[in-house]
Amino acid sequence: MATPHLAPGLTRRGFHHLALGAGAVTAIGATAACAVEPEETPQETGSGPVELNFVWWGDAARAEVTEAALDIYREAHPDVTITTEYQDSTPYKDKLATRIAAGDAPDLMAMRRDQLREYGDRGALLDLNGVDGLDIGQIPDSAIDPWTVDGALLGVPAGLNTIGFIVQTTVLDEYGIDLPDGDTWTWDDLKVFADSITAASGGAVYGTGFEVATVANLYVYVRQQGEDLYTEDGALGASVATMQGWFDMIGAMRESGGFPPAGFFEDVGGGAEASYTAQGKLASEIIPTNNFKAYNEACGGTLALLRIPSESTAERRGQSIDCPHLWSIAADSPNQAAAADLLNFLTNDLSAWQAMMTTRGVPPNSEVAQELMGDLPEDDVTASEYLLGLAEEDLPPAFADPVGATEVQSLLADISTEVEFERVTAADGAQQFVDEANAVLG
């Protein structure tokens, strides 16, 4: 069995001892300097019964298909008992932090990309390189390399994903507006498009809208300016000018009416059915492409899926194939071999994917991805072909978010709100974000 990934100077025992009771990632970071000597986690041996704890985030629909996959595994492995838990993303993040801080990490867990290094650098995650029973040979290097930190593979993609622009075509039909060419449109085109819809509908439908502080959207815009939100070595790569450009661009759309007013997104519920696009109040928005099927069903099957604007005209491509949802094994799991076997099943077994479909994205195993296409519903085929088409292009690399990324996301959310309500100018907000993010990241 491979060894846990431990940051220099920090041991697993030290991590657990010093973080015990802290209940939050920030508490883990505050104690990292007081490490003690490392020790290996004793592993369960023999062929007796094994109990695994497996946790993830998501809704009831995702849980249903995941349990269906697990039932296939359970039938083939009657000696393995799998207990499961799931929550929405935010409570999941908090609960996982509490469990890991208390030395009660799940054996196998879904890991957010912005927390991978938070835990990995502190020795909480097993280095998956060379783990017996886990085959990553069919996963492209581009999908593995971002999650390899200091030579340690801290997570395996639970699915390949990207973002796309959905457009409600019934709105275009009603007001006689043409669907943009998704291969060539620009952010300027989006503004014209959005303004025209809002004007034609008399303000009943806003032309476009998306969360300003969603980092998946910002990753793309920043790359298009020739920068990275986070550099490969974990620094903030976005400049003040680029951040101001992001705030200014959205502010201009809001001022002309194509983008909803400040506070519009504060009242929307989660999920596709509750979205403003499904409610008929928004004509277009950005979504993760693994959600395309849910959104299209919620919108009556009338959505078009376009690339993010300016991909053909920007200084640099912005879109990439990302993995916001990874699988990790706890460094202190006494059942690492069994957890690795289950992870291998979830990654490489076609029957598992036939049960789960693309709820977490396209299979990272290239062979499984191709085999699965014939089983997918039409909307999942659309989203998968969109992603696989991008994957064949020359895209910029993705990097694991640095330690402190979750705090930077909170900064972005707070400052974006201040700019949105015009309590802070875009210029001052951009400067504040860069200054404070640099302070967080060191």
- The single-letter code of the amino acid at 293 is K
Mean pLDDT within 308-333 = 93
> What Rg, from alpha-carbon coordinates, does the chain have?
22
Give CA–CA dist 207/194, Å, rounded. Answer: 4
Give CA–CA dist 341/73, Å, rounded. Answer: 10
Q: Return the half-sphere exposure (C-beta side, CA atoms, 13 A cut-off) of residue 380.
A: 20
Do 80 and 103 lie in one domain? The reply is yes
Percent of all residues in the chain with a pLDDT value above 70, rounded to a whole number: 90
Do 288 and 174 lie in one domain? The reply is yes
pLDDT digits (tens, 9 = 90+) for 76-116: 999 999 999 999 888 999 999 999 999 999 999 999 998 99
Mean pLDDT within 373-379 = 95
pLDDT at 7 exceeding the cut of 50: no
Do 289 and 428 lie in one domain? The reply is yes
Asked which of 30-34, 116-120, 190-194, 356-360 is least confident by mean pLDDT, the reply is 30-34
Do 127 and 195 lie in one domain? The reply is no
Residue 373, CA distances (Å) to 72, 243, 357 in order: 20, 39, 9
- The model's confidence at residue 40, banded by pLDDT at 50, 70 and 90, is low
Position 3 scores a pLDDT of: 42
Contact 152, 120 (CB under 8 A): yes
Domain with 54 in it: what CATH number?
A: 3.40.190.10
Position 100 scores a pLDDT of: 94
Query: Which of the pair, 425 or 37, is modelled with greater confidence?
Result: 425
Position 341 scores a pLDDT of: 97
Do 360 and 434 lie in one domain? The reply is no
Position 397 scores a pLDDT of: 86
Could you tell me the residue range of the domain that residue 86 belongs to? 50-160+323-390
Picking from 52, 88, 50, 82, the residue whose alpha carbon sits closest to that of residue 69 is: 82
Residue 404 CB neighbour total at 10 angstroms: 23
Position 191 scores a pLDDT of: 98
* Domain contains 45: no
* Domain contains 199: yes
Do 260 and 186 lie in one domain? The reply is yes
Do 301 and 417 lie in one domain? The reply is yes
Number of compact structural domains in the chain:
2
pLDDT digits (tens, 9 = 90+) for 135-167: 999 999 889 999 998 899 999 999 999 999 999
Do 121 and 180 lie in one domain? The reply is no
Give CA–CA dist 304/284, Å, rounded. Answer: 9
Do 288 and 300 lie in one domain? The reply is yes
Do 93 and 121 lie in one domain? The reply is yes
* Domain contains 10: no
DSSP 8-state code for residue 102 = T
Position 399 scores a pLDDT of: 85
